[in-house]
Structure 1
Amino acid sequence: MRWIHAAGRGLLVLVVIMAGYVASDARVDEGGGGGRGPLTLATAGDLTGYLGPLLWGWNRTHPGERVTLVELPDSADETHAQMATDLRGGDRGRFDVLNIDVDWTSEFAAAGWIRPLPRDRFPLKSFLPPVVDTATYDGRLYAVPYVTNAGLLLYRKDVLAEEGVRPPRTWAELEHDAKAIAPKHGLAGYAGQFLPYEGLTVNAAEAVYSAGGTILGADGTRVTVDSAAAREGIGFLARGIREGWIPGQALTYKEEESKQAFQDGKLLFLRNWSYVYAVASARGSKVAGKIGAVPLPGPHGPGTSVLGGSNLAVNAHARHPDSAARLIAYLTSAPVQRQVLTRGSLPPVRAALYEDPALVCRFPYLPTLRTAVLTAAPRPKSAHYDQVSLAVQAVVQDALAGRETPAVAVRRLARELAAISDR
């Protein structure tokens, strides 16, 4: 695996991490005995190769509780499918600790696949407040926030500076600049993640939320998507494809494809997660030093991002649940969370890190990201989330491709979601 080659280079750093971890406020049971032993940690593909060295640091100091990292596909949908297949099998399965998308917590908890966790074992008050809610179901903690995220609007600050315009704060400004400015500089206007997969659910939800709408009620069963706001949000994206300021190629984009298009200097604006800022700013990138980031725009001002990220959960049939909880406490401790950001370019859940001057200097988007996270909204909470997301993807893709009008698509989505909720 990629992380093995980085282990030697990270030795000194990881010794410091572990020293900080021992002294940190992450509460773990240091008593002997029950539930201790080796673990497997399952995660979607580690695109930056940071996680292996962190686990190497754990393995070095916990030889009796060694962790084996299992990397599943990069695609969220494929990772979900493999985790669900393993967990449905009962018994112990292959995975002890699971790094799950924040929106799988309710589904996995409702199915009895993951075990509830004691709140007082983890420093939840040190986390950004919205992220803790993503780890709960039916009033109980079923996971621990590990990384968070919120969609940002990345833009070519050199191009906007040359034109003498500020970054767009409304959809009208975004549309105008994508139409009028991008072609002058040989760029496409705007893109998000519009291939039918989880990323399309995120982009669609952000458009609906930004217009003031919702998809499901707070209880996860009441369907609320048939609204003027939903028609406006989906209509905004569909109009962009139809008029060409969102390139047709964007219908094939996931995170990585859209990131690459932006990094290759082909886009003026991109909706994506914060890791793209760090990767596209690295030495050798065609747009290094030319990137800015602002909150997503909405119809009349700042829009609403979907809360992203992942939570760490314990298989209900984990072989060594105490070791699993200890590992989670380690991965969410302050020193390790710092490394999640500095080595993995992933947004930590620890609130204090967003105000650390050294980190803000190195990652200037942190204040913007903090604001976006604190004002973000979760995807619909549902015990049938996988089915909800698939319905959103299929219907919105038809609207974006011009096979249905936004109004027809929204009515169809309401019917399909009602049928899912009635199951």
Structure 2
Amino acid sequence: MAGAEGAAGRPSSELEPVVSLVDVLEEDEELENEACAVLGGSDSEKCSYSQGSVKRQALYACSTCTPEGEEPAGICLACSYECHGSHKLFELYTKRNFRCDCGNSKFKNLECKLFPEKAKINSGNKYNDNFFGLYCTCKRPYPDPEDEIPDEMIQCVVCEDWFHGRHLGAAPPESGDFQEMVCQGCMERCSFLWAYAPQLAVSRVAAEDEGLVSGDQEVTTPENGAHQDESRKEETAGQGKESVKETKAERTNEPGASSSSESGLQAASQKHLHPEAPAPSGCRLRDLQAQRPAQRDTATYWPPNWRSKLCACKDCLKMYSGLDVLFLTDEYDTVLAYENKGKVDQATEQRDPLMDTLSSMNRVQQVELICEYNDLKTELKDYLKRFADEGTVVKREDIQQFFEEFQSKKRRRVDGLQYYCS
């Protein structure tokens, strides 16, 4: 059939799938939103050093200036562009309470171009193996060319290291219905969190550890303190009621049994069935610890807003400060809050001007624009691939050079066309 073959006589099944410009623009918009979330509104032109220890920001480590064996250091987004554009960088995603190190004493032969008047060292900064491109308890790079197992990496909200899901002692919930993770090491150091885990955490729990089933079977259950054997509970309550009835009957048949003795017996029986709960101490953590929560050598997974349920009494706040985890009481410390801030800062109420322009064109103009766009996209992809292969950062000058060369090529193509009139 005539329609069975496409361009150049190739079968239509071998042709590349058709993607509309609208699809491309929507995909670009999604990628832009993700970038805004990661950057969190970070300034790409001004060094963040003047802001002090930034609450949370996108950071990078330069293995060219501070290779493994040297002191670790972190640089802000603007310095990654301006001062380390041709260097090999590790993207650290975000870190809390960090001040840009670019050009300080850790950088022996480099002076910051954006803010050279820096102190020799930032004593408040915290570092880990991430600053040398190593992650998890296995201390491997990411992506790891030697790791053939596809495994999502998750950041611990306390130490901010990244971990393979299979190295956390407890697999992430299959539903992914959690906001934050605390790794095994941080759960051991912040053992008070185990008191909250039965009520708040959402984890994949080995059933045999709980004595629920035998064998290797696993159950997935929210650790919310509601997992109880209801039948045993009802049986116990029933036996208690029968005991009260028998005792009451015996007392009623005794000579001289008074109403006061009956009421006293009833009160005693009710107290036996429903013992008074211990008086609250005023500290939620202390009340939960009185229930003797179990502790395991695993990570824990926590739902949204779990931080707001942590006790904020004077003693607990002092403990958080001593453990250097006072940030757990701050809902705005979460990565989710940081990402939302980035999206809000970059949001615009105006519609995309390119979409408006496209919709106002006729069919011929739309086709011409799409062809131009495809040429631009192909050449830009090939141009940026060189930087990705070399592990270098794309600077503003590189982008300007690309567009100058692209415009020059376009002019040569247009000037080379010949027009004939009949």
After TM superposition, the score normalised by the length of structure 1 is 0.23
Q: Which has the higher contact order (CA 8 A, sep 6+)?
A: 1
- Larger gyration radius, structure 1 or structure 2: 2
